[in-house]
Every structure is written in C-alpha cells, then in structure tokens.
Chain A
Amino acid sequence: METLNYLLQGFAVALTPENLMFAAIGAILGTIIGALPGLGPSNGVAILIPLAFSLGLPASSALILLTSVYAGAMYGGRISSILLNIPGDEPAMMTCLDGYPMALKGKAAEALAISAIASFIGSLLATIGLVILAPILAKFALRFGPAEYFALFTLAFATLGGITGKNPIKTVVAACLGLMIATVGVDISTGNQRYTYNILELYEGVDFIIAIVGLFAISELLFFIEMHAGEGFKKMALNKLKLSMKDIIQVLPTSLRGSVLGFIAGVLPGAGASLGSFLSYTMEKKVVGKSGYFGEGDPRGVAAPEAGNNAAANGALVPMLTLGVPGSGTTAVLLAMLISLNIQPGPMLFTQNAELVWGVIAALFVGNLMLLLLNIPMIGIFVKLLSIPPKYLMPVVTLVASVGIFAISNSPLDLYFMIGFGLLGYLLRKLHIPLVPVILGMLLGPEMEKSLRHALTLSDGDWTILWSSGLSLGIWAVAIAGLMLPYLIGPILRRRMAVQAEKTHSIVD
C-alpha cells in the first residue's frame, strides 16, 4: 500500500505540464536516436546530458527527459531493423531476423505495429517489476558493505562481455583501457595525485561525459566521413496497416514470456538489453517449436526480442537505482548524470529522494504510453526521418555534442579531450574492440578500487573479509558462473545465431 501511495505522488510529479513536455520530447528524440543506425541509447543520452545541464533543469525534469530518451531508443531501434535489416542499435539486432522478412513480404506496417505493442508490454511489465522489486532490494541493499560491493563490481565486470560477446579478450582490453583512464586524478583513499603531471585540469580526472560523447558521437562522425555516405536510405513506402485483434492476441503470450526473461536479464548487472532480446528470441523458438516459422517472418519472432529488450532496459534500472551499480552502458550514463546532480543512487535513494525516484518511475509509465501512440499511428514520420541523408544529420549531432560539452565547463581543453576520445573510439572500432566496456571500466573501476581498499582498511589488511559473509559468497559464485558461461555455452549459442543470420540472408538474397 505504501508503495502505491508513493507511486501516486510520483504521478503528481510526472504529470505536471513541463514534465509531460520533457517526457514527450525525450520519447520523440529517443525514437529518432534509436532508429538511426550508429546512434544508440548510451550516446543519445550522453549527448543530451550537457544540454540538460545548460538548460538548468531541476533534477526530476532532467532525469525524466533522459529516461524517456532511453525508453524511446529501445522502441526506435526496431524501425531500421525491420525496414533496412540494419539494427538501429545493438539490442535491436534480433529483431532483424523476422522483422525484415516480414517487411519483404509486404508486411512492414504489421511488423512495426506488433513490435510496438510487444515493446509496450515489455516496458509496462518491467516497470511494474521495478515498482515491486526496487523498494525491496533497496531495503536489502543496506546489508552491502565494502566487501559485498567489491564482489558485486567483480560480478559486473565478469558478465560484461555477455554470453554473446564475440571476443572475450577484446572485451578485457576495452575494460582495462577504461580502468586505466579512470586512474588519472586524485586518489581519494590517500589524497594523492595519480598521472596528473602537475596539470591542474587533470586533477579531477577525465570527465566521464566527455569520454562518452567523444567515443560514440565523434567516432561515428569520423566513420561517416570515411565512408562518404552522403545519401540517405532510399525512401520507403509503408503498406497500409491491417492488424486484427487475432494477430495481437496471437503474440500476447510471446510478449509476456519475453518480458519476464528480459526483465531478469536486465536486473543482472552487466548483462543488459542485448542479452534480454537474445534470450527471449531463443526461448520463444524453443517454446513454439515446429509450428513456428522463425527466420521467415514469424510475428512472434518480432514480438519476443522487442518485449525482451524493452523489459531488460527497465530492469537495468533496478540495480542502478538501488545499489548504484549500472546494469548496462546506458544506465551507467544515467548514473553519471545522477552523481553530477549530487544525488546518490543506492539504498537510501528511496527514502531520501522519494519524490524524484517515484516521479521518474511514474514518468516511465507515462512515457511508455506516449511511445505506443508515437510508434503506431505516427510511425510514418519516423520512417521518413530515416531517409534524411547523414550529411545533414551528422553535423547537427556534432554541433549539439560540442556546444553541450563546452557549455558545461567553458573549457577548450574539454573539446580537445572530446576529439581525442573520438579518435580513440574510431581506432577501437576499427580494431573491433567494443566501446561499452571502456565506459563501464571508467565508471566502475574507481568504485571497485574504493570498495576493495575500504574492505581492507576495515579488516586491517585481512583479505578473508572479501568472502566472509554469505551474501558476498553468493555474489562471488554468480560472478564465477558469469565468467565461465561464455566459454561453456557461448560457442553453441553463437553458432546458432550465425545459422539464424545466414538463413535470413539466404532469404534476402
């Protein structure tokens, strides 16, 4: 009952005219960002953070704007998956498998509508899950001391590559790079400077937001220049939507199963939305069995991954809000934003900033409804946006990013850093080294170091404190499992994915 009360208060915050406006802006921008290949949820949110700062938004409005972008991107990713067979962002990868074949059969509008409904169900159920689970977990999270946090951060790193990660070594390289960058600046446990060479600008370390914008947005610009991809995608005509109640009912059980699986995958730190959509799709195929025609345009093959990735996206907010440990790249960016606003995520957030948290949760419900409306009747507008040539789009993105970064600190040096990170991002992508682990390394590394040193300070240097409680032992067990699983079942799963992808392509060709 108490929770319900808080939630009602949250709706009072979310339903104020300006917050409704920010949710709507966020939903629209998010859908566009998600739909455009190359711009994903983490950089979309990162680019908008400086903007939220320079507008001087109050914490709740800023967070509502950014979580709406996040939710919107999860919807938007499917559009280019279905129409172009190019995932708009990583979590939308699995949607290509049946979405594009549906579009080839002249059922693009149906695929978009079904996936929007599945996304809606996924988001809705996961937000309800968040409402139920988060306050319980927040109370429980008080039991997390330095040793437990250290185990938890290790778990986040262990599951970073995800089960689908192609090359674990490259993931490790990326994470180490992030860890190294994070050591620059004052070491708070001793008060000493590390790698600052008496350059004052380095004393507070490398700004996380600058690194994200550089790594993602600027490197994308460099790729664009390299490819001279001046033309947009060809204009696409959508067929007239013919969706009966029966079609919707047919995908309901699929969406429900996908939502539950996706939510669980999201709650686990480090795993994230891509895993959510992958698991949902794979399981749906198993459940439906021979009667399905997956890979050839089965509507259930569109509904499952979309319900899964939207549910996972909201699920990833659970560890971020209750423990301060992000479950994905985007939640890491949101966490950085919260910290910049002097709001400490963690167990006490729900008692100390109740209005803010519940306002944002209520905004998730509101935003989700807006997104459903945006993504079925108004889908044509977003499809048109896809045909905007990148030669107009990329300069705008770069401009917004640069102005935003400069507006935070008025420091030209920050712009140089941003460009430097852009070059680094370009290089890494050329080497097929993933970027998200760099970001998570930068954000989680210092926290992990801090908890280790705190634990050892408390125990006077006795290492056994790290596994002395049942809770930490449990987390260690999951971490070890997370580390081993990719080697045990990863190759099998990847082989299946490859087979799937080939099948799709053979239809295409």
Chain B
Amino acid sequence: MSKISLVRKNTLPFLVAVTLSASAVAQSAQAFEQSRSAECIAPANPGGGWDFTCRSVGKVLTELGAISGNVQTVNMPGASGGVAFAHTVSKRANDSALFVAASTATTTRLAQGQFPGMNQDMVRWVGALGADYGVIAVAKDSPYQTLTDLMNALKNDPNSVKFGGGSATGGWDHLKVLIASRAAGLDTASLPKIKYLAYSGGGEAITQVVGGHLDGFTGDISEAQGFMESGDLKVLAVLSEERLPAPLDNIPTAREQNIDAVAPNWRGFYVPKDVSDEAYQWWVDTMDSVYSSTNWQNIMQQNGLMPFHKSGAEFDQFVRDQVQSIKEISTEIGLIK
C-alpha cells in the first residue's frame, strides 16, 4: 500500500509501480477516471456495522491512494437500509463516486419485499470484504452437546427447542435456525413450528439463554464470542464453509456435523445502476485491492471480521442466489406469499 503513496512524489517510479503491482487497477484506471473524492452512504446511525464498514473502507481507500481526496461517510438511517437504497435508485443513479454499505440484512429485506417497489436489480453489486458468520449456541449446562443433538430434538418435536436472536421474526438470525434445520432434514411443515423469540439485540437474547429461559441462541459469532470466552455460552456450530481462524478454530462447523448450512453475514457494497461499465469495473478492482491490502487485513483482525471475499460478477450471482434462497425459506415459513 505504502508503495503507491510513497512513489507519488516523482512521476516515473509511480508509473512503474502502478503497472507492476496493480496492473488490473491500472488498466481500468486508464479507461475511467475516478473523481477526487468519493462518498460512502452508511444506511444507519453512527456506531453500527454499516457505519463501521464505510468509515474503515473509506480510510483504506485514501491510504491506498485509490481516492486522492477524502472519502466522506454519510449516515442515512431508515427502514434498515431502505431509505438509502431508495435514495441511490431514484436520486443518484449515475453517480460513479458513490458507494453504499450493504450486508445480509439488505438482501433479506430485498428478498422479503420490505423495500416496497424495489429489488436487487436496481443497483450494481460490487463486492464483499469480509463476513461475520452465523452460530447456534446453547447455555453452558445445556443437555445438547452437538448441533446434531439439537437437530434430533427438533426432529422429534419442533416445539421442543426455543430459540432467541437479535433480529425480528423472519430476519437473518431467525433464518439461520431455519437454514440449519432445513439442511438437517426437517420437513417444510415443521419449520414454522420452531419457536423463535425476537429481541432487539443479540446480547439480550443471550442473557435469556444464559438465564435458562430459552434453549438456544442464534446470531453472529461476534455477538457470542465474549460470552463464549467467559464460559457462559457453548457454541455448537458455526455456519461457515471452513473453521474460523484462531482463537475460534475449536468451534466445529455445521458441515463437519453433516448439516450443510452456511450463513455468512457479509459486509460489502453496491453502487448505482446507471454508472458506466468502466466505473463499475473500477470499483470492483479497487475493492479487490482493498481486500488484499495489509491495512484492511489488520482492520478485519482487530474487529473480528472473518475472511470472505467475492466481487464483480461472482458477487452479483452470490447476491441473487442469497435473495432467492431467502425468498424460498420465507415462503416456506409463511412469512411472504
């Protein structure tokens, strides 16, 4: 990273460095000239996850020299991202210096039609730069030792295990239980019978699990980690493709337990629909170089973000697939028709 910012002082090595180290960026940069400064919309109040995504990526973009001026973070809360989505679609459709933070919460709402009149095709999906993975956990003295135990109990009686999580009914935390249960072989008729209690935050739900009022917690690893370290919570499975990096590498994945459920809460971005292909490609390449930079890797590590990277066409397909599968499962539990 410092390579670019160091060599900017004289012209010749600068060109060499760009062509050598970031040829992809250089190619598209010739075709498309990004403006001096950029704007990142965080569709929430300061202090939340989206706000963090905007501010930290904005910082890395400046450090890498991808944006020569500054990257301003604008908070635009409302409708869990809906206000920002509508703003991007209707007012900023060809602003190539704008990017908007998104996550699985965005795809969930798109899938369930909670941004009225809007869908995933109205923006261009750039990429994801990390994820927080879903977990299923129980209290330390719970009779369930593995995810398989828990799923067997659900198969016998879908009413027998009561879950709590930090999202609304039908939200991402609720869906994680359903995704895992479906992967474990529960039939469609049983899914709506699984009890899920919605809390306003993961911590509140965990407190109820630790106090013995609920049987299971469904949420993200970042929410569970502190309680796991203090010994109050036993994480039965993480819903990731592979085990998480140390110190979380002692948690088995669901896949290891023959339950093929993966639930990443990714952190990424979209840009407006009508930006040129060159501008879109610039964002894709730039996000790739952000992800591979040591600056970003450090930020990920400090903030408990797990490895997860997709961009461009691959990410676009991923978003479509995620929207589709959330639609299916939401229909199965009768949340949408």
A binding-site residues for B, Cβ under 8 Å = 53-54, 56, 142-146, 186-191, 193, 198, 200-201, 203-204, 324, 339-344, 346-348, 351-352, 408-411, 450, 454, 457-458, 460
A190 touches B169 (CB 8 A): yes
Q: How far is the CB of A61 from chain B (nearest CB, A)?
A: 13
B45 touches A53 (CB 8 A): yes
A186 touches B77 (CB 8 A): no
B211 touches A198 (CB 8 A): no
A146 touches B213 (CB 8 A): yes
Q: Is B122 positioned at the interface, with any CB of A under 8 Å from its CB?
A: no
Q: How far is the CB of A159 from chain B (nearest CB, A)?
A: 24
CA distance A144 to B211 in the complex (A): 8
Q: Is B320 positioned at the interface, with any CB of A under 8 Å from its CB?
A: no
CA distance A341 to B51 in the complex (A): 12
Size bracket, chain B contacts? 35 or more
Q: How far is the CB of A203 from chain B (nearest CB, A)?
A: 4
Q: How far is the CB of A333 from chain B (nearest CB, A)?
A: 16
Give the residues in chain A near B211, CB-CB below 8 Å.
Answer: 142-145, 347
A203 touches B79 (CB 8 A): yes
B227 touches A348 (CB 8 A): yes
Binary interface profile of B, 44-60, with partner A (CB < 8 Å = 1, else 0)?
Answer: 01111000000000000
CA distance A128 to B69 in the complex (A): 52
Tell me the nearest residue of chain A to B231, going by C-beta.
A351
Most buried by A among B46, B83, B335: B46
Give the residues in chain B near A344, CB-CB below 8 Å.
Answer: 201, 203-204, 207
A191 touches B47 (CB 8 A): no
CA distance A410 to B76 in the complex (A): 7
CA distance A145 to B80 in the complex (A): 28
Give the residues in chain B near A457, CB-CB below 8 Å.
Answer: 162, 195, 197
Most buried by A among B78, B201, B210: B78
Pairs across A and B, CB under 8 Å, 16 listed: A189-B168, A190-B168, A191-B170, A191-B171, A200-B86, A203-B80, A204-B78, A342-B48, A347-B211, A408-B45, A409-B76, A411-B76, A450-B199, A450-B200, A457-B197, A458-B197
Tell me the nearest residue of chain A to B82, going by C-beta.
A200
Give the residues in chain B near A54, CB-CB below 8 Å.
Answer: 46
Binary interface profile of B, 183-221, with partner A (CB < 8 Å = 1, else 0)?
Answer: 000000000000101111101101110111100000000
Tell me the nearest residue of chain B to A147, going by C-beta.
B213
Q: How far is the CB of B217 from chain A (nearest CB, A)?
A: 12
CA distance A342 to B204 in the complex (A): 11
CA distance A454 to B163 in the complex (A): 11
Give the residues in chain A near B213, CB-CB below 8 Å.
Answer: 145-146, 458
| 10 cross-chain pairs, A with B, having the tightest CB-CB distances, nearest first | A344-B203, A203-B79, A145-B213, A191-B170, A142-B211, A188-B168, A200-B79, A188-B198, A191-B169, A200-B82
Tell me the nearest residue of chain B to A343, going by C-beta.
B203
Q: Is B318 positioned at the interface, with any CB of A under 8 Å from its CB?
A: no
CA distance A351 to B78 in the complex (A): 32
Q: Is B143 positioned at the interface, with any CB of A under 8 Å from its CB?
A: no
Known: A204-B78, A342-B47. A351 touches B197 (CB 8 A): no
A204 touches B80 (CB 8 A): yes
Known: A191-B170, A340-B45, A458-B195. A352 touches B78 (CB 8 A): no
A347 touches B77 (CB 8 A): no
Known: A143-B211, A188-B200. A410 touches B116 (CB 8 A): no
Give the residues in chain A near B78, CB-CB below 8 Å.
Answer: 200-201, 203-204, 409, 411
A189 touches B169 (CB 8 A): yes
CA distance A188 to B201 in the complex (A): 11
A145 touches B75 (CB 8 A): no
B230 touches A352 (CB 8 A): yes
B47 touches A346 (CB 8 A): no
The one of A53, A145, A187 in contact with B46, judged by C-beta atoms closer than 8 angstroms, is: A53
Give the residues in chain B near A339, CB-CB below 8 Å.
Answer: 200-201
The one of B74, B83, B171, B212 in contact with A201, judged by C-beta atoms closer than 8 angstroms, is: B83
B210 touches A348 (CB 8 A): yes
B76 touches A348 (CB 8 A): no
CA distance A193 to B109 in the complex (A): 12
B230 touches A351 (CB 8 A): yes
A352 touches B226 (CB 8 A): yes
Known: A186-B168, A201-B79. A347 touches B207 (CB 8 A): yes
Give the residues in chain B near A190, CB-CB below 8 Å.
Answer: 168-170
CA distance A145 to B200 in the complex (A): 15
CA distance A347 to B204 in the complex (A): 9
Q: How far is the CB of B86 from chain A (nearest CB, A)?
A: 6
CA distance A351 to B83 in the complex (A): 36
Q: How far is the CB of B235 from chain A (nearest CB, A)?
A: 16
B162 touches A458 (CB 8 A): yes
Binary interface profile of B, 145-187, with partner A (CB < 8 Å = 1, else 0)?
Answer: 0000000000000010010000111110000000000000000
Tell me the nearest residue of chain A to B118, going by C-beta.
A200
Q: How far is the CB of A183 from chain B (nearest CB, A)?
A: 15
The one of A146, A346, A352 in contact with B227, judged by C-beta atoms closer than 8 angstroms, is: A352
Give the residues in chain B near A191, CB-CB below 8 Å.
Answer: 112, 168-171, 335
Give the residues in chain A near B162, CB-CB below 8 Å.
Answer: 457-458
Q: Is B308 positioned at the interface, with any CB of A under 8 Å from its CB?
A: no
A346 touches B204 (CB 8 A): yes
Give the residues in chain B near A351, CB-CB below 8 Å.
Answer: 230, 232
Q: How far is the CB of B211 from chain A (nearest CB, A)?
A: 4
Known: A143-B211, A145-B211. A352 touches B80 (CB 8 A): no
Q: How far is the CB of A177 from chain B (nearest CB, A)?
A: 22
Q: Is B32 positioned at the interface, with any CB of A under 8 Å from its CB?
A: no
The one of A53, A56, A187, A198 in contact with B116, judged by C-beta atoms closer than 8 angstroms, is: A198
Q: Is B14 positioned at the interface, with any CB of A under 8 Å from its CB?
A: no
CA distance A144 to B45 in the complex (A): 31
Give the residues in chain B near A144, CB-CB below 8 Å.
Answer: 211
Q: How far is the CB of B307 from chain A (nearest CB, A)?
A: 23
A189 touches B45 (CB 8 A): no
Q: How far is the CB of B267 from chain A (nearest CB, A)?
A: 15
Q: Is B115 positioned at the interface, with any CB of A under 8 Å from its CB?
A: yes
